[in-house]
Amino acid sequence: MQDVNKTAASGMSKASLICGICAIIPFAGTASGLAAIILGIIDLVKISKGEAGTAGKKFDILGIIFGVIFPALMWIILWVTIFSLMMGGLGTSLLNY
């Protein structure tokens, strides 16, 4: 088994954060968000077992949070836009009727 550098973040934790940030990209962000969640959870388990340094824990947590919030936000915006367009457009007001 390799020695663990406890002072540096692991590559998996950095990848989790990067995938979480990339999850804001429409449509491809869903897959990227899922990758961020999986990588973050795997690295958190490795940290708890002592197989990875604790410095990457904050990257893992942020990657998981971004991986959940960004794709959900993108889908909500998409569905609100589609629903609004189906109901008569974005520029109309209910007060005009």
pLDDT at 65: 96
54 and 47 Cβ atoms separated by less than 8 Å: yes
Six-digit token string for 83: 């629903």
For the chain, domain boundaries: 11-89
16 closest CA partner among 28, 33, 3: 33
Residue type, 35: A
Rounded to whole angstroms, the Cα distance separating 30 from 20 reads: 10
Q: Which pLDDT tens digit goes with each residue over 28-37? A: 889 999 999 9
Which pTM value belongs to this model? 0.80
Q: Which pLDDT tens digit goes with each residue over 30-66? A: 999 999 999 999 999 999 998 888 889 999 999 999 9
